[in-house]
Every structure is written in C-alpha cells, then in structure tokens.
Amino acid sequence: MADRYIVHWSEQAERDVREIVEHMSREAPMAAFDLAAALERRAATLVSLPTRGRVVPELARFQIRTYRELIEGPYRILYRIDGRSLHVVTVVDSRRDLATLLMNRLLGVDRAGG
C-alpha cells in the first residue's frame, strides 16, 4: 500500500471556505453546500499523491516553490507539504489577484476571504 499523507486545514482555509459558502448561500444555498463538499473532497485526493498540484505561479516568480495548488471550479486550494502532512493554507477565488490578497493578509488588511 502506498504511503498516505494527512491533510490538515488551517484556520484561515476553514474561514475562507465558510466565507465563500456564506456569500454563495445568499443566492444558491444547495450549490454553496455542494461547493464546500467539493473543496473538501478535492483536498482529500492529496492523501496519496500530494505533489499532483502545481507550484503556485505567483510565488514561483519569487523562487517560492513550497506552496502548491489544486483547482476546484473557480477556486484555488493552496497547500504545502511538510513531511507526511499536508497543510491547506488558504482557499481563494481564482478571479482575485492572489499577490494582492496575500500581501493584504500579511499586512492584516484583508479579512474578506474568498
């Protein structure tokens, strides 16, 4: 049997999904529920092959290759691998500018998730 990894969700990633679902549920409650489940299922696929996600291009430009991503619909699931653990660090809408979003979070400006 192949080695398995353990997927951990950061508080930020959990908050991101909650905020995405809350926003989406105003218009389409069932679709919001389905999206949350799809994001969780997609991240769970990493337990057997964590390197399947691509290196985050915006970070690779700065030689940061420790973060990878999977795409689920218009959302990007960003994660890093640490030994036998995989840490989902954030979930963002791919239509947002990731570099600006990450900078704002580092500076404590962005609390809007998504």
pLDDT tens digits, 54-88: 999 988 988 989 999 999 999 999 999 999 999 99
Residue 108 identity (one-letter amino acid):
G
Structural domains for the chain: 6-107 (3.30.2310.20)
Structure-token pair, residue 74: 């218009």
Q: Are the C-beta atoms of residues 64 and 78 closer than 8 Å to each other?
A: no
CA dist., res. 56 & res. 15, Å (int): 21
The residue ranking higher by pLDDT, 95 or 7, is 7
Mean pLDDT taken over the chain? 89
Closest CA to 81 of 95, 70, 93: 70
Strands 85-93 and 6-9: parallel
- In a 13 Å sphere around the CA of 90, the CA atoms on its Cβ side amount to 16
